[in-house]
């Protein structure tokens, strides 16, 4: 017997608290593809998985529907804030440091600027001999985006999923990698 995905053969409409399987193409306003999700990924509506405007736009749709959205920065990843960019001494970081690595604001190396907000995730954007540039903005901050969604499936959320508030899918929020990198237990 072939096992079906939990959303197969289901014509449930999207409600304020359910699980939706989505695929998409994400573009900037010039039409450049920023991300493409070919295989469906499940997200919890009514939790922390999706942006509010996306959840609002999906309401009442069902499997097979297509939803095209244009999101301004304030509806998506926010405006770019130069106050979230910090220069930190290079010697605080391990030799293996590479551009694109991320740090949880609560786990920055000892000696980092105490003014650095701890609730942000910082991406290493530049490495110089004397300093490192850490950017706490989401990589898509300040960018208007076009999102073409396909609803691949809809199902009821379990009590556990609702209680967790997320299915753990972090595309719409920047999260540090949980696996430690060589040479430091604070590098993500």
Same domain, yes or no: 46 and 90: no
170 pLDDT exceeds 70? no
Residue 71 confidence (pLDDT): 96
- The answer to whether the Cα torsion of 43, 67, 46, 144 is positive or negative is positive
Q: Which domain holds residue 120?
A: 82-135
pLDDT class for 27, splitting at 50, 70, 90?
very high
Rounded CA separation 177/103 (Å): 8
Give the pLDDT confidence of 67-125 residue by residue, as tens digits. 999 999 999 999 999 999 999 999 999 999 999 999 999 999 999 999 899 999 999 99
Sheet holding 33-44, edge to edge: 33-44, 18-28, 145-156, 66-71
Q: Are strands 145-156 and 18-28 parallel, antiparallel or unpaired?
A: antiparallel
Element housing 117 (H / E): none
- pTM comes to 0.74
Same domain, yes or no: 50 and 65: yes
Residue 85 confidence (pLDDT): 96
Higher pLDDT, 141 or 168: 141
Q: CATH number of the domain that 98 lies in?
A: 2.40.10
Determine, yes or no, domain membership for 56: yes
């Amino acid at each position: 017997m072939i096992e079906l995905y939990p959303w197969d053969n289901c014509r449930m409409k999207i409600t304020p608290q359910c699980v939706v399987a989505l695929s998409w193409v994400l573009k900037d306003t010039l039409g450049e593809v920023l991300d493409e999700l070919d295989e469906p990924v499940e997200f919890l509506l009514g939790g922390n998985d999706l942006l509010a405007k996306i959840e609002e736009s999906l309401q009442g749709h069902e499997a097979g529907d297509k939803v095209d959205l244009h999101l301004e920065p304030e509806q998506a990843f926010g405006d770019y804030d130069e106050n979230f960019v910090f220069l930190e001494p290079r010697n605080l970081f391990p030799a293996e440091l590479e551009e694109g690595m991320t740090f949880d604001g609560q786990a920055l190396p000892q000696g980092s600027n105490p003014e650095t907000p701890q609730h942000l995730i910082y991406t290493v954007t530049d490495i110089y001999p004397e300093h490192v540039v850490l950017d706490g903005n989401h990589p898509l901050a300040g960018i208007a985006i076009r999102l073409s969604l396909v609803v691949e499936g809809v199902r009821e959320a379990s009590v556990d999923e609702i209680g967790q508030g997320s299915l753990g899918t972090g595309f719409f929020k920047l999260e540090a990698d949980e696996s430690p990198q060589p040479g430091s237990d604070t590098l993500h």
